[in-house]
Amino acid sequence: MDAKGALSINFETPYMAVDLSQTRKNIQKFQDMANRGNKILRPHSKTHKIPFLARLQVDAGAVGVCVQKVAEAEVMYTGGVSDILLSNEIVDTRKCDRVARLSASGCRISVAVDSLEGASTLSESAAYLRQVIPVLIDVNVGMDRCGVDPDEVLEFHSQLKAIPNIRVEGIMAYDGQVHSSNPLEREEMVNFERKLVQELFDKLKKIDSNIKVLTVGGTPSSGIWSHFEEVTEIQPGTYVFYDIHSKEMGLCSMDEISMGIVGQVMSMKDDERIVLDSGYKSISLDQGVYPVALNEKGIVGKVQAMSEEHTVIKPEQEGLGLGSKVLLLPYHSCTTTDLWDYAWLYEDNELPVRTKIMGRGKRE
């Protein structure tokens, strides 16, 4: 990330800054990886929540995006993305009605399912608007969150086939638990998951000609999944910005992290500490890990404490004073983005642009 560019934005602190030049490189990096593996890329928009960036991903070759909420799907469709996977379960009639309305308006929207109740509710909403909505069976491959257990998938598929106005098109196997800093451990975990889903996918294709999709992976595991022939689609998200956690896993360099929060020194005590005007209401304190603080010269110092509106740093540079700006790189970019209504996008020598984060706070 171009720290100098982020710090030079003439705006009151704190603010969220996105290095658009590096973001474009990150987008192309994963698109190239997907292309080499002959995989469809469906990036998860929950990281950036900005339709403009989603369109950049589609322009680079992505088929569309993933979203976690119906409201996010509405934002992305309104923002120009027409192929959307709701990679999360919905069971509420009102949410299913909204999905059906998106479908009726021309959006190619599909939904992850793991219950007959949810599928039936979606079916009723689709029938009312004379739609047939594609669904993917969400398979639990070890995260133990949502999803049907592998030994229940075939029976569940048979039951889904009896429900009208939905069309089962494949399997989704998200593995958010694969985030070890050891690449060999990540590979072992993915190989184990592959054994679970490969056999299921083959069996389903033999009994149902509509089964064509095997969508898998997050940023830490997509590169591994991309080598497997049976996989049709990968759905990484964090790669668009990366973050300190990504760097810890060896997925990127510090320079490839393209989003951060700029704060200003508002108080200081000699060489003991500097205090920024931004705390964990500005940058997420994910898993209890502090952000990295830097400026155009490099690391400013070690973050010692954070509270709602303050970050306390033990300075390691000379020349820091009241009013100095500091760039904080988040441990987790997705949860940091969701704290902001706007982001400043900057690129090379062009004027920075303040952009609304349209998907921010869309919980429903």
* pLDDT value of residue 118: 98
Two structure tokens written together for 305: 């404490």
* pLDDT value of residue 305: 97
Global pTM reads 0.96
Two structure tokens written together for 215: 């969508």
> What three-state secondary structure class fits 350?
coil
> Are the beta carbons of 28 and 39 closer than 8 angstroms?
no
Give buried/exposed letters for 129-167 (b at 16+ CB in 10 A, else e): bebebbbbbbbbbbeeebbbebeebeebbeebeebebbb
Is residue 28 very low, low, confident or very high in pLDDT (cuts 50, 70, 90)? very high
Residue at token pair 């920075």: 352
**pLDDT, tens digit, 9 for 90 and up, residues 191-211:** 999 999 999 999 999 999 999
Q: Average pLDDT in the 244-255 region? A: 97
* pLDDT value of residue 271: 87
Domains of the chain: 3-16+252-356 (2.40.37.20), 20-240 (3.20.20.10)
Q: What is the DSSP letter of 268?
A: E
Distances from the Cα of 176 to the Cαs of 29, 245, 248, 314, 339, in angstroms? 21, 13, 16, 34, 22
**pLDDT, tens digit, 9 for 90 and up, residues 290-340:** 999 999 999 999 999 999 999 999 999 988 999 999 999 999 999 999 999
- Following DSSP, what letter does each residue of 197-241 receive, concatenated? HHHHHHHHHHH-TT--EEEE--TTTHHHHTT-TT--EE---GGGT
Please name the amino acid found at residue 189: M
> Are the beta carbons of 102 and 77 closer than 8 angstroms?
yes
Which among 197, 91, 208, 93 has a CA at the least distance from the CA of 142?
197
Measured distance CA(143)–CA(145) in Å, rounded: 6
Beta bridge mates, 261: 16, 328
Please name the amino acid found at residue 301: G
